[in-house]
Structure 1
């Protein structure tokens, strides 16, 4: 069975992705882009499970190394696995707004699983991997 893809669904997922980028720096707004039980795998292999852990983890980084930064990203592909589940592959990096060096901030590729819940799309899973084998 192949998924029926609508322009509205793809647009809603692209809007969700942009909202995730735009909410960088606000742990609660960022976590609201995810399902309450989302699995969020960070580049170091740590797993944040669920909304509370995503908020707690991002509150720490937004006051530490990621303070005064923004998340830049671009979707490479969206593939609908079913009518209610889509896989995104995207590239991104953190840009520092206070001119700190970003040499240590490697660009990353990440995968996101979007899931339709009732009348909206949210991310149910995220995995972040630095490019270049780092």
Structure 2
């Protein structure tokens, strides 16, 4: 299977995850049965059913009518059946044109081939903090240069 095919399939998986947001069963279907899911706030769900059970009250309450937007920033195919995927995105609530800056996040996912389709085996969601990202990506490397 070529990288372009895998890339297309990984984008389709992320699109499916975004579209499934709001429906706990559909959202859970993009994860493996034994998935490990670390939330935006540091909580952890183990297994597809816990992911479904932990999202159902969110979708019926605080996250009702929200929309998930995410895009792949990078990916690496580690083997024919395993990929590492990094995404960025956020939640849109109401009629907002963009995700709220308070709800922006970056995700790291281990994605595995499950039969004929890709599913998420491990998911780590981290709040995006622009200042911290800037300092980590731009300033810290400058400070590490010899002679400083």
The TM-score, its normalising length taken from structure 2, stands at: 0.80
Unaligned runs of 5+ in 2: 133-148
Shift of 1:60: 1.1
What secondary structure does 1:12 align onto?
helix
Counting matched residue pairs gives: 128
Aligned equivalents of 1:66, 1:105: Cα separation in 2: 14
Aligned in 2, Cα 1:123/1:103: closer, same or farther, shift over 3 Å? Answer: closer
- Quick check: which has more Rg, 1 or 2? 2
Structure 1 equivalent of residue 17 of structure 2: 20
Q: Which runs of 4+ in 1 moved over 3 A?
A: 102-105
What secondary structure does 1:72 align onto?
strand
Unaligned runs of 5+ in 1: none
The TM-score, its normalising length taken from structure 1, stands at: 0.88
1:71 aligns with 2:68: yes
Aligned equivalents of 1:9, 1:86: Cα separation in 2: 9
Shift of 1:5: 4.2
Q: Where in structure 2 are the equivalents of 1:1-134 lying within 5 Å? A: 5-97=2-94, 105-132=102-129
Aligned equivalents of 1:110, 1:45: Cα separation in 2: 12
CA RMSD of aligned residues (A): 1.7
Shift of 1:39: 0.3
Aligned equivalents of 1:21, 1:122: Cα separation in 2: 13
Q: Greater share of helix residues, 1 or 2?
A: 2
Task: Say which is worse superposed, 6-15 or 79-88, in terms of deviation.
Answer: 6-15
Q: Which fold has the larger relative contact order, with Cα–Cα distance below 8 Å and residues 6 or more apart in sequence?
A: 1
Q: Contact 1:5–1:83 at 8 Å: present in 2 too?
A: no
